[in-house]
Amino acid sequence: MFLFRHGGRRAILSILSLTTRPSSLAQRCYASRIDVPFTPPPVPVIDQCPSPTCQCRESPPGLDIEREKDMNGSMPTYAEQVLISTGRSNWPSKIDEDEGEDSALVRQLRKNLLRDGKYSDPYHNIMLTNSSFPPTPSPAHQTKDATPTPSPASAFLLPSFQYVPTIPTDPPAVEDFIKAFVLPAKLHQTHNTLSRAQQNILLRQTDRQKQFPGARPINEILILICGHGNRDARCGTLGPILQAEFEDKLQRQNIAILREPPVAEAEVVDTAVEGYVPTARVGLISHIGGHKWAGNVIVYIPPSFQGNTLAGKGIWYGRVGPEHVEGIVGKTVLDGKVIKELFRGGIDGEREVIRL
């Protein structure tokens, strides 16, 4: 009755046509299926971290760790991580506000490389990070008038896998360090619009590296754990526990732990020689983002670690607890496989971001 009152015969015919005409949804069901080719992940992957086979340290109770969000792709994009050796892990919340001598390098690098800096390049982002690794000792530096000068700094460059033991922290020397090691070897194509002189300012000048004696490739595995307690209590609490756990599990695999500062003299390490024993450094580092996913861990496998498919790459993990450490050592460090459930991102030697 209602249909007749509000549309009559024309409304009924309209409804009948809808019930007898195939719907667009039904039509779509008969469309040809497009097969999307399977793209294998860029690195070997396992879905979950294996359960520990031996006793491990306990995670502290009460840590507010986010457990639901997918972490894949949460790693900040960067082209080079400058890891500054400070020998301590009690930095201020913002590391460039530190009053210590080792913060002089951070301040100079930040001034030159970050936003509006002379060497700022949006296509070559630099991550500045403090580490608990001890710097290379150096004799007291004095000027000709016997006035003491600030002690030089030491830094690891990743994924360049280079170590520079002696970096003077006066502004001209820091600029030389930037030009020698930090700037890109090749510019992004967007910079083709710049003049040759402008491009040269942003390009690495490897001939300047001879100004930094002792600079050499990194051959040890680096395990970097956020332990920045003055920035977030979760990483500050969990970081030292994970550091001890990694050192223990690495040594169980006959990987020697390096705790002494690197020497200033250049070293030649032949990793292919019979009987070579892999080495590793495990250190706490300052804020790298994602404290809600503590523990945050970066695993850098050196290019010289032959047979490992992750050689020359850095793999970022989150939500790492002591129960995951044995699995990371066995599957990532030794077998060259990424653990998907912990994966935040990665970077390779060509500065390409690794995502699953």
Give mean pLDDT, residues 204-216: 95
* pLDDT tens digit sequence for 248-287: 999 999 999 999 998 877 566 777 777 778 999 999 999 9
What pLDDT does residue 114 have?
Answer: 87
Q: Are 277 and 221 in contact (CB under 8 A)?
A: no
Distance, CA of 268 to CA of 130 (rounded, Å): 26
What pLDDT does residue 1 have?
Answer: 35
Q: What's the pTM value of the predicted model, to 2 decimals?
A: 0.86
Distance, CA of 295 to CA of 22 (rounded, Å): 55
Compute CA distances 78 → 229, 235, 263, 350, whole Å. Answer: 23, 21, 28, 11
200 sits in which H/E element? helix 196-202
* pLDDT tens digit sequence for 278-333: 999 999 999 999 999 999 999 999 999 888 999 999 999 999 999 999 999 999 99
For the ranges 138-152, 210-224, 255-269, the maximum mean pLDDT occurs at 210-224
* pLDDT tens digit sequence for 153-170: 999 999 999 999 999 999
Angle at 160 between CA 113 and CA 41, to 5 degrees: 110
DSSP at 8: H
Give me the amino acid identity at 183: L
15 sits in which H/E element? helix 8-20
106 sits in which H/E element? helix 103-113
Q: How confident is the model at residue 139 (pLDDT cuts 50, 70, 90)?
A: low
The tokens of 189 are what? Answer: 């194509």
The tokens of 118 are what? Answer: 């002379």
What pLDDT does residue 153 have?
Answer: 94
